[in-house]
Chain A
Amino acid sequence: MDAAAETTPLLSVRDLRVSFALDEGLVRAVDGTSFDVMPGQVLGVVGESGCGKSVTMRAILQLVERPGRITSGEIRFRRDGEIVDLARLPPRGPVMRDIRGGEIALIPQEPMAAFSPVHTVGEQIIEAILLHGHRWGEKKLSRKDARDITVGLFRDVGISMPSQRVDAYSWQLSGGLRQRAMIAMALSCKPRLLIADEPTTAIDVTTQAQVLALLRDLQAKYNTAIIFITHDLGVIAQMASYVVVMYLGRVMEQGPVDEIFHTPKHPYTQALLRSIPSMTGTTRVALPVISGALPHPFNRPAGCPFHPRCPDVMERCSKAVPSLRPVTPTQLASCFLHHDQAEPS
């Protein structure tokens, strides 16, 4: 890949807005989110429940279910020289179907719910490979070829006895094996972008360590770009090279992982990092907390969404929404402490 391709984003989300029109009112789940994913980069997206991280990913794959709708913004995805705006593509059209699962793959949180219990895991992966067969070359793949590819993938993701396990049903596999099979399925079409949505939240800590190590190895081997979504700051610190911090549908701060953890600029990032019990700090003392609770989705605060809980709140925070701007050469933050620019209304 030439130098220009390495510095142009693979995926570029610009001012994305997704809202859900419910009977009780409009929920603005994603409210002006922007970020880029570079080729081969591991981008960590961190945030608490309701911050819109999962909805953003569903929007990228055009999987937002009704009554949800992408209301504005762009999702620019670079494929073989051309740039397509995924937000404008019909969700069931041929281009989107080709991209979804083929060029952009998803590792869901709960592999038990993601696999069908009435087909073997092998059958489900073989089906995906045959559907996106052209990604494995010009030659038309036979079922046998697809099965061989699947066995190879199972070996790659560290499943022992791969040729037998291909014929297992998802409920016959343990949590760790099931998540490995899910990773094999996500990789089956050689995606250029992998979206991992809380891939280790449902599994135990020793299995999590195995799965994280596996994802790191596979990323190094295939140089796939990964968007890694989690609420676990430890997982983000270990996996991501660049971090996006979200709160109530907006990006609060983004930057390289070391800066986010060691010189966070946004009060929300700072408070979030302080509030987690560490493995080395003093025990049995009060932890610094973020006051208040996450607001109800129908009850979004005006101005900066974090202002009611912010220790550094100023008068203008409740009146205007700060835009996401560079605050250091490498970091961006949306906070009036660091710049005066409000979001253009």
Chain B
Amino acid sequence: MSDTAASPLLEVRGLQKFFPITKGFFQRVVGHVRAVDGVDFTVNEGETLGLVGESGCGKTTASRCILRAVDPTGGSINYRTRDGRTVDLATLSPAELRPLRAEIQMIFQDPFGSLNPRMTLLDNVGEPLLVNGMSNRNERTARVAELLRVVGLRPEFMHRFPHAFSGGQRQRIGIARALATNPRLVVADEPVSALDVSVQAQVLNLLLELQSRLKLTFLFVAHDLSVVRHISDRIAVMYVGQLVELAPTDAIFNRPLHPYTAALMRAVPPADPRVRITDGILGGEVPSPAAPPSGCYFHPRCRFAEERCRVEAPALREVTSGRFSRCHFAGELSL
């Protein structure tokens, strides 16, 4: 992927999404949950950017802003369209967005909730085609058959309903639907976390294969670090609505530059009884995005925190080429 890695397909700058907290009969706004609070990243054409973090860190909200499933409060989402224009997805009207919807598709987490149980596979997978103007039924049937074959299902299945399929097969159906409109950017929100271990590997392999075959760009949102590590070229780590680190996969795993990234990695139990997790278990809890701590949001849990961290909020800065960290002491700590 390195030869195409220079050209950003998606450029997110200062993305914010605040949800109001209301109180009383008149729904008076008493505060805001700063779910996404100034997130910057780019996704290059043909690469996979992994977006990781614990629950409530804003990774799903950020990905939904890109799809405009929720409207961002602030910031810009510059996307380079198929015909070479650059548009700001954050400000487009619904009518202006509609032609772009085919280019940006989503794979959902729950393969049981994301398919319409009263539609056959033909209708489930074919619906995006119908919406995008493929009104000829025979043409649509042929395309659905092709899509099912692409994701490793038999085309004869297209007249069955989703309940006849296992979790892994349903996730393949969801992938087929996402691919129906020939997307360029696919946002996958926890696409394998509801699957069993033996099936998870099959779906990860399918995603990798489809990416190289169809030149797809993935934004892969997940909490499982070993899965994200396996599939991503670069990884962005979120904590309380902010990006704390962004770096190429190998670099971030070999030498993280933010104490939170290091703690997150240490917390994953290694699948080998001869490797023991011993020290460095992160204490405390994730703060509420409605009332984040002063200064660096991570300072109450950080073992390197100094007075400066309590007072001054660090900015996300490029420490070495292509490696970003939101830490005052990035590169100076031995993590």
Contacts and interface: CB of A to CB of B under 8 A. Distances in A.
Interface of A: 48-49, 174, 176-177, 204-210, 212-213, 231-238, 257-258, 261-262, 271-273, 275-279, 281, 283-290, 293-294, 296, 309
Contact of A258 (B197, B265, B274): B274
B285 A176 contact: yes
B177 to A, nearest CB: 19
A224 B169 CA distance: 41
A219 to B, nearest CB: 15
B37 interface: no
Interface in B271-288: 271-277, 281-283, 285-286
Contacts of B87: none
Contacts, number: 135
Given A206-B282, A257-B273, A277-B229, A289 B202 contact: yes
Interface of B: 48, 54-55, 166, 168-169, 196-202, 204-205, 208-209, 223, 225-227, 229-233, 249-250, 253, 263-277, 281-283, 285-286
16 contacts: A205-B223, A207-B54, A272-B197, A272-B198, A275-B200, A276-B197, A276-B226, A277-B227, A277-B229, A279-B225, A279-B229, A279-B268, A287-B230, A289-B202, A290-B201, A294-B198
A307 to B, nearest CB: 15
A207 B208 contact: no
B275 to A, nearest CB: 8
A204 B223 CA distance: 8
Contacts of B277: 209, 238
Contacts of A204: 54-55, 223, 286
Contact of A287 (B55, B204, B253): B204
Given A205-B223, A209-B267, A237-B273, A283 B196 contact: no
Contact of B166 (A231, A275, A286, A294): A294
Contact of B169 (A48, A232, A289, A293): A293
A277 B270 contact: no
Contacts of A279: 225-226, 229, 253, 265, 268, 270
B197 A293 contact: no
Nearest to B54: A204
B271 A258 contact: no
A277 B204 contact: yes
Given A206-B264, A238-B273, 17 more contacts: A48-B198, A49-B196, A174-B285, A204-B55, A205-B223, A206-B263, A206-B286, A209-B281, A231-B196, A238-B276, A261-B273, A262-B274, A278-B226, A278-B271, A279-B268, A289-B198, A290-B201
B197 A48 contact: yes
A45 to B, nearest CB: 14
A275 B253 contact: no
Contacts of B200: 275-276
A278 B279 CA distance: 20
Contacts of A210: 281-283
A174 B277 CA distance: 24
Contact of B201 (A207, A208, A281, A289): A289
A286 B207 CA distance: 10
Kindly name the residue among B54, B229, B272, B281 whose own CB sees the greatest number of chain A CB atoms within 10 A.
Answer: B272
A209 B278 CA distance: 10
A118 B314 CA distance: 43
Contacts of A276: 197, 200-201, 226, 271
A252 B105 CA distance: 41
A213 B281 contact: yes
B52 to A, nearest CB: 10
Contacts of B169: 293
A205 B225 contact: yes
A296 B167 CA distance: 11
B230 A283 contact: yes
In the A-B complex, list the 10 residue pairs whose CB atoms are closest, starting with the nearest.
A234-B269, A277-B230, A209-B267, A204-B54, A275-B201, A48-B196, A290-B198, A287-B201, A238-B269, A233-B271
Contacts of A296: 166
Given A212-B269, A231-B197, A261-B273, A284 B208 contact: yes
A283 B231 CA distance: 6
B4 to A, nearest CB: 15
B267 A286 contact: no
A235 B211 CA distance: 31
A258 B54 CA distance: 30
Given A209-B269, A213-B281, A289 B229 contact: no
A261 B272 CA distance: 6
Nearest to B165: A293
B227 to A, nearest CB: 6
